[in-house]
Chains A and B, each alone.
Chain A
Amino acid sequence: MNNTTRRQLLRGLAGSALMLVVRPLRAQLVAVPEPVAARYGQRPIAFERVVMNLPPLAENGNSVPIEVSVDSPMTLTEYIRRIDVFAPANPVPHLIGFDLSPAAGHARVESRIRLADSQQIWVVCEDQDGQLLGALADVVVTLAACLDSFL
Chain B
Amino acid sequence: MTTTRRTRIAAPARATAGEIVAIRTLISHPMESGFRRDATGQLIARDILVRFECRFDAELIFAADLAPGTAANPYLSFHYRAERSGTLEFMWRDQAGAETREQHALLVV
Contact = CB atoms under 8 A, between A and B. Distances in A.
Contacts of A67: 77
A92 B68 contact: yes
Nearest to B26: A112
User: Counting chain B CB atoms within 10 Å of each CB, which of A96, A97, A98 scores highest?
Assistant: A96
Contact of B71 (A63, A98, A147): A63
A146 to B, nearest CB: 7
A32 to B, nearest CB: 18
B103 to A, nearest CB: 18
B71 A113 contact: yes
B44 A149 contact: yes
Given A104-B80, A108-B78, A148-B36, A93 B62 contact: no
B81 interface: yes
Contacts of B67: 92, 94-96
Contacts of B61: 101, 103-104
How many residues of A sit at the interface, in one of the four size bands?
Answer: 35 or more
A108 to B, nearest CB: 6
A67 B22 CA distance: 14
Given A103-B56, A149-B38, A96 B79 contact: no
A29 to B, nearest CB: 25
B77 A109 contact: yes
B37 A111 contact: no
A98 B7 CA distance: 19
Contacts of A104: 61-62, 78-81
Interface in B8-67: 20, 24, 33, 35-39, 44, 56, 59-67
Contact of B64 (A62, A64, A90, A97): A97
Interface in A96-145: 96-101, 103-106, 108-115, 145
B62 A95 contact: no
Given A103-B81, A108-B79, 10 more contacts: A100-B62, A101-B60, A101-B62, A103-B61, A104-B81, A111-B64, A113-B69, A113-B71, A115-B69, A148-B36
Interface of B: 20, 24, 33, 35-39, 44, 56, 59-72, 74-81
